[in-house]
Every structure is written in structure tokens, then in C-alpha cells.
Structure 1
Amino acid sequence: MEEKTYITIISIVGISVSLLIIMAVTLITFFHHTKKKIVEKEQEKASLKIKHQQKILQTAIAIQERERKRIAQDLHDAISSKLNIVSLTTNVLLIDKTINDKQKTALEQILNITTGTLESARKIAHDLLPPILNEFGLKAALQELFEDCTKYTKIAIEDNVEALTRLSKNDQLHVFRIVQELINNSVRHGKANELMVYIEQHDTGFVLHYQDNGQGFTVKDVMEKSGIGLQNIKSRVKILNGTLKIESTPNNGSQFIIRCNYER
């Protein structure tokens, strides 16, 4: 009798332990599955957030480019055309033999100011929207940018730029704006007088290597408190599905290495 009772107790204990193990496994499986679902939802949420941010970013840059185009058109139509009329009228007055020396001097000053203003307006419009980019592509646009830069400043530029023909016109514009912004930063903030720009194309993408001999900076400080120019560069690199690497120390110049893939 006692032996039977003992066996019964062992059986009950065994069943209880088995049930506890089953419950434990069930709970662990449930929590694991729940955690996995939560992680998946969080990843999905993060992915949607990134896509949303990317869309906002692309929209903001598209608006910026439209505004540049509008201002460039206004400069050409509303300002340059009227200044051309002033220039032509002044030239007509200058050939009038009835004017005295004082009037002639005044007209020559007006002509010089008008010519200078026309050149400035042309340069601003060109910086806002380089027409050569649409007509002849990125390489030609960058070559013109480098020539203008060396013409109007004392900067020497060493370059070796491939055409990147596999990029769309819109993406070529992003690359152009990145180089343009890098040069502006080197001149305004870095006080550089020597630049190097290399763009090399590969089967899957391209690499842009930019270097200057300017004042340099502490990378961590700049990344934490980046200005509008650097933010603009980082935004365009993201749109191009690229990565940005910055190397710089105070008084030792700066390097920017951008790697982008064609696949998105």
C-alpha cells in the first residue's frame, strides 16, 4: 500500500514537473516570439522613419534647386536684360561727338559699372544653375567651375575627373553641388589656396576624393555642430546612397572621401 502511494506521488510529481517544463517552454517560446515581433516592428518603424526622412530630404533639396533655377532665371530676364539695354544706350551716347569730356567720363564710368554688374550677375546665375551641366554633363561643368574658381581667386586646383555617364542628370547635379560646396568651404572657412579633386568611376559606383591645404578642423566638433554647407553635403551624399569620410586636423588641411553606389 505504501509502495503504491509512493509510486502515485512520484507519478504526480513527474506529471507536475512535466507540466511546469511545458509551461516554461511555452512561456519562453511566447516571450521569444513576442520579442521577435517587437524587434521586427521596431525595425519596420525605423525603416519607415528613414524612408520618410529621406523623402523629406529629397523634397527639400528639390525645392532648393527649383528656387535656384527661378532666381537664376530672374537674374537673366529681369536684371541682365535691363543692364544690357543700359550698356547699349551708354555706348550709343559715347559715340555722340557733341558730348563734352566731363559727360564722356561719366558715361564711361556708367559703362564700367554696368559691365562689372553684368559679369557678377552672370557668375551668380551660373553658380545657381550651370547650363553646361545639362548640355555637356558633369565633367564639363566641373571643369568650368574649376576654371572660374582659379580665374576669380588665387586658388590652384589639381583635378582628375571622370564623366560618370551612368548617373542621371539629377544625380550629376548632386555631385556638382557637393564639389561646389566643398570648394566654398575651403575658400571661406579653410583659407586654402590649393585643392585636389579626383572622381573615379567603378563598375558598381564611384569615389570622389577632395583635399585642401587649408586651416583644417577637429572632425568630431564639426560633425556634432555642422553648418548648413556640411549638412547640405551630407544630405546629397545620402540621396546618392553614399558614405562620407572626413579626415582633418587643425593646421593640416582636410580630406573628404565620398563613395557612392549606383544600386539603390
Structure 2
Amino acid sequence: MLKKFNQRLQMQMFYFHKYDIFKKSKRYAEAKSLLEEILKEKTLGQDLNNRKTIYSHLSGINEIMGNPSEALLWEKKYSQLNDSLNAENVKLEINKLETKFNTSEKEKKIAFLSAEKNQKQMEVNKKNYYLWVLSLALLSFTGLLIFLFIIYRNNKKLSEQKEINLQQKIKDIKQKEELALTKAILEGEERERERVAKDLHDGLGGMLAGVKINLSTWSSTHLNPDLHRDFYKILGQLDNSVSELRHVARNLMPESLLNFGLEIALRDLCEFYTRKDLEIDFQAIDIDKELPLNTQLNIYRIVQELLANAIKHAEATNILLQCSQSQENFFITIEDNGKGFENSKVQNNKSMGLRNLKNRVDYMKGTMEVSSDSQGRTINIELNIHGE
């Protein structure tokens, strides 16, 4: 009936109430389908504000359903449409300011012509009267010009200040949107890491460990180690595979971080990378054990990326890692004796594996300085522990 009589507002209220009921009932697939149906609706789906709202809800419902890639796609559509609407609003505001300015200019011209006309009329009518009348008119005219000039200057300054404020608001909005997008990406990445780590450790890892135990028990009673060396070699390979699987799960979601905190987790990470031809010296200074878990996880990922880059790209044999905290600031310094790289290559984040590192540093409102020479390289990072 609403479609028949083209009651758009009531149609919009009906659809979104229906969506809200689906979502609260955890009927997420039906809620998603309803949103997609609204987008296809020729009346409601054409309204840009409706589309922006639907994009936002589609991003949220896909995130709840465990579709981070699709959620990110809708979030990007929302950001693009929001930027477009903001740009249109800026244009409208600028046009209003220009209209006010042109009106003011016309009023000034009218006032000027009116004053000039009055002056001429006075000169015609009182041409033979006292000279002091002419002097008074000249003084009045001069005062009027000064007054108009002051008004013009004040209006111009006001217009310029409004333009500056408007540009700053646009910049702040873009920064907030970029931060929200980065946060969504990082949180989605960590959730996926945690899910994969649990599946590997509890699922596949448990199954392989069970197979190994059963084979070991069976072989101890049915096989001779001297006669069946190939079997025991395969059993050893299975044992190595289980260990490697656990290493992978540990890198995806470090249990020591969840159980014992950041400092012990970083120390375990350094010990994990240490080998015969690589020495890692880890120094921890005043690290707060009560840091929020999300902050600890971000710092852990930053250090993990730093160590991986030093080992993979710099081919270092000696690494010094120092982590310290001073109230709201967290400092990370890593030095290595690797082959270094040219400073111009620092900008190529993709080839050096620094893009993810830079995203996490920016997310925590931090700064990063990189210096390198033939003797190695040094990276200094300063983070705000409440910068998320």
C-alpha cells in the first residue's frame, strides 16, 4: 500500500524497523538481504543519505557475520559517498559566502552612488550658499568611505576565517574516517589471526599430536627400530611437523602475551628468533604490566615486524632491542649490524615490508625515524599508549 501511494517516508521507516527486528533476532542473513533490497528500490535507494546509511549497516552486518573483506568493501563505499556529500556541502557553503560577499559589494556601491548623488544635489541646490556647507558634505563623504572600507575589510577577514575553519573541519573528518578504517582493518586482522591460531593449535595440531601418539604406541609393540628405520624417520618428520605447526600458531596469537604480559612475550619472541648465527639483546625499562591488551598486542606486532625485517632484509648477526615506557609514551629502539639500505628506499614500504608497520605506528599516533649506513641501521619509534 505504501508503494502504491508513494509514501516514501513511511516506506523508509517500515524497511528500517524490519531490518532492526531481523538484526535483534540474530537473523543476520535476512537483515543483509533486506538492506540489499532497499538499495535496489528505485525510490528509497536513489536517495544518497539513505545509501550512506545502508552502506554503514551493510558493513556492520557483514562484520558480525564474519565477512571482513565484504565489510571493508561496504565501509569504503560509505567513506566515498560520505566524502562526496561533504564536498557538496562545502560547495554550498562557499556559494553562500560568495552570495553574501556580492550582496555586500552591491550595497556598498548603492550607498556610494547614493552619497555621490546627494552630494551633487547639494552642490546644485546650495551652490551659492556658505562654503562651510560644502566642507561639511566633504567631511561626511570621507567618513562614509572610511566606514565602508572598514566594513569591507571586516567582512573579508570573516570570510577568510570561515574558509579556514571549514577546511580544518574537512581535514578532521577525513582523519577520523582514516583512523576508523585503519582500526577496523587491524581489528579484523587480529580476529582472523586468533581464529586461525585456534584452529591450527586446537584442531589440526591436536589431530596430528593424536596420530603421532597412536603411531608411537603401536610401533613400540609391533615394530623393531633397527628393522623399520624408515618408519621411525617418518615418525620423526611427523613430530617436527607438529612442532612447526605450534610455532606458526604461536606467531599468529602469542599465548605468553595473553598469559604473562608484554615484557615476557617480547622476551620469548627474541628467544624464538635467536640462533647460532644471530644474537638478540633485549632490554626492557619500566614497562607497565597493566597496559590495555589491545595496546600490548599492537606493540608486540610492531616489534615482531621490526625483528623480522632485520633478520630477513638486513641479514644481521647482532640485534639490540630496547623497549621503555615513560607515562603516556612508549619508546622502541632497534639497532642491527646488517647491510643497511639507501635512505631513498625507506619510502618503498611495499618492498621492505614496512607498510603494515607504518599503519600500526600511525594508528597509535606515533612517529618513526629510520637511519641507515654501511654499518647497519637504527629505527626509533615513539608511540602514544592512549593514541588509539
Structure 2 counterparts to residues 87-236 of structure 1, below 5 A: 87-97=212-222, 102=227, 104-151=228-275, 154-162=277-285, 163-223=287-347, 225-227=348-350, 229-236=353-360
Asked if structure 2 preserves the Cα contact closer than 8 Å seen for 1:201 and 1:207, the reply is yes
Please state how far the C-alpha of 1:106 moved relative to its aligned partner. Answer: 2.6
- The answer for the alignment partner of 2:163 in structure 1 is 38
Q: Verify the 8 A CA contact 2:225 2:232 in the aligned structure 1.
A: no
Maintained 8 Å contact 2:310/2:336:
yes
Determine if the alignment matches structure 1 residue 70 to structure 2 residue 219: no
**1:242, 1:261 within 8 Å by CA — same for their partners in 2?**
yes
Q: Deviations over 1:7-29 (max 9, x none)?
A: 33433332222222211211111
Query: Could you tell me whether the CA contact under 8 Å between 1:90 and 1:110 is conserved in 2?
Result: no
Q: 2:364, 2:386 within 8 Å by CA — same for their partners in 1?
A: no
Shift in Å, 1:4:
4.7
Q: Which runs of 5+ in 1 are unaligned?
A: none
Higher RCO (CA-CA < 8 Å; seq separation 6+): 1
Partners of 1:246 and 1:169 in 2: CA distance: 27
Distance 2:211 2:188 in 1: 33
Structure 2 unaligned spans of 5+: 1-125
Larger Rg computed on CA atoms: 2
TM-score by length of 1: 0.90
Change (3 A) 1:98 1:142: closer
Contact 1:90 1:107 in 2 (8 A): no
- Report % sequence identity: 27
Residue 154 of structure 2 is matched in structure 1 by 29
1:252, 1:35 → 2: CA distance? 52
In the TM superposition, what whole-angstrom CA distance separates every residue of 1:126-160 from its partner, at most 9, and x where no partner exists? Answer: 01100110110001101111111114x62111111
- 2:333 is paired with a residue whose SS is strand
Contact 2:280 2:319 in 1 (8 A): yes
| Per-residue CA distance 1:162-217 (angstroms, 9 max, x = gap) | 33324211101111111100011111111111111111221332211111111212
Task: Give the distance between the partners of 1:221 and 1:31, measured in 2 at CA.
Answer: 46
> For the aligned residues, what is the CA RMSD?
2.2
CA distance in 1, matches of 2:213, 2:291: 42
Q: Distance in 2 between matches of 1:196 and 1:58?
A: 30
1-structure distance, mates of 2:223, 2:290:
62
- 3-state SS of paired residue (1:95): helix
Q: What is the CA-CA distance between 1:255 and the residue it aligns to?
A: 1.1
Deviates more, 1:208-217 or 1:225-234: 225-234
Return 31-40 or 212-221, whichever deviates more: 212-221
Contact 1:197 1:208 in 2 (8 A): yes
Change in 2 beyond 3 A, CA 1:257/1:166:
farther
- 1:214-256 Cα distance to aligned partner (Å, 9 max, x none): 1212334322x2127312112222222322111123x231111
Point out the more displaced range, 54-63 or 160-169: 160-169
For normalisation by structure 2, the TM-score amounts to 0.63
- Deviation, structure 1 residue 2: 7.3
- Secondary structure of the residue aligned to 1:154 is coil
One-letter amino acid of the structure 2 residue matched with residue 18 of structure 1: G
